[in-house]
Amino acid sequence: SQQGEEDPQALSIQEGENATMNCSYKTSINNLQWYRQNSGRGLVHLILIRSNEREKHSGRLRVTLDTSKKSSSLLITASRAADTASYFCATDEGEETSGSRLTFGEGTQLTVNP
Amino acid sequence: GAGVSQSPSNKVTEKGKDVELRCDPISGHTALYWYRQSLGQGLEFLIYFQGNSAPDKSGLPSDRFSAERTGGSVSTLTIQRTQQEDSAVYLCASSLGIGVPTYNEQFFGPGTRLTVL
């Protein structure tokens, strides 16, 4: 079963509003990553937060990580219609300097209405 | 190339036939991954290659699934005797891999949509 679980499963907001998506996981992790997927095809990496980090920013994105609660949140500020997509969290349980498989959640479908 | 490429982009096959899906990772990436995504679902890990090490095949759903990575670059995922439940989008990803503090950021290809009739 998938380790990451996102909520909500679907989110519909108006352009300009903020969108918050949450992710919970079960095991210890090296890092947690957020990806975006348009139209059910390739994923685009958005942001990575390491297990010893609590918050990270990238443009309009803000990610938090609470390892004690095994949860993360992705905030998109001042949303745009072009932000409409599915957003997935993925946990990496591997060694810090090696590749390893990611465990993905089921995703949140975000719809931003113009 | 500039990114991960996959071919074909779409594949329709009849139940019982074999299919081969191809992935060209980003040049210089030593780690390569295959995932499967069924309609409306998250990604399911299939197999992971790291350099010349034995691949992690723990995600392959049955012995009908196999994958190779030749010369540490191109990979082929083969599904024998396809079944309807194999219908999904098959995604390939690569990352810089071992020995580099990359924190395993994975770069995904556009996927191959497989439909088994």
pLDDT at B101: 54
B76-114 residue pLDDT tens: 999 999 999 999 999 999 988 765 555 578 899 999 999
Helix (H, G, I), strand (E, B) or coil at B27: coil
Which residue is closest to B58 within chain A, CA to CA?
A101
Which residue is closest to B110 within chain A, CA to CA?
A42
Euclidean distance between CA atoms A68 and A54, whole angstroms: 11
Q: Where are the beta strands (DSSP E) in chain A?
A: 5-7, 10-14, 19-24, 31-37, 43-50, 55-58, 61-66, 71-76, 85-92, 102-104, 108-113
A41-71 residue pLDDT tens: 789 999 999 899 999 999 999 999 999 999 9
Instruction: Name the band, by pLDDT with cuts 50, 70 and 90, for residue A2.
Output: very low
Residue A69 neighbours by CB under 8 Å, 6+ apart: A24
Is there a contact between A6 and A88 (Cβ–Cβ < 8 Å)? yes
Residue A83, min C-alpha distance to chain B (Å)? 18
Q: Which residues of B touch A35 (CB under 8 A)?
A: 108
Euclidean distance between CA atoms B33 and B77, whole angstroms: 10
B26-51 residue pLDDT tens: 998 888 999 999 887 788 999 999 88
Q: Closest Cα to residue B47, out of B78, B2, B8, B4?
A: B78
